[in-house]
Structure 1
């Protein structure tokens, strides 16, 4: 996991939230793990590069 984190607030309806949390629990994953993977996949699908991505060279800050 990344060494630094930032908070992302997402508003969804309660029924979807409950279903999502239930599915995550059934798969022994946290909702945060799933959302992070969805974001990585979305960035990859659109060819968006960012520091720390496995396919990118490390960018010095």
Structure 2
């Protein structure tokens, strides 16, 4: 069963947000895509992965 996405709200310094969004745009990727990738990598690094790429997930 596919789950609906959940929203994550993050407070960040306005200048860092602006720089982050500009860098993402220059790489033709959205800020959300980068954050999702960072979360996947963090979960994998700490053995807490979830979803289709997690070693314990069913094929």
Please indicate the TM-score interval, normalised by the length of the shorter structure: 0.7 to 0.9
Normalised by the length of structure 2, the TM-score is 0.83
For 1:21, the equivalent position in structure 2 comes to 21
How many Å apart are 1:3 and its aligned residue? 5.1
Instruction: State the Cα RMSD in Å.
Output: 1.6
Long gaps (5+) in structure 2: none
Normalised by the length of structure 1, the TM-score is 0.81
SS at match of 2:47: coil
Which segments of structure 1 move beyond 4 Å, counting only runs of 4 or more? none
Long gaps (5+) in structure 1: none
CA distance in structure 2 between the aligned counterparts of 1:27 and 1:49, rounded to whole angstroms? 26
How many Å apart are 1:27 and its aligned residue? 0.4
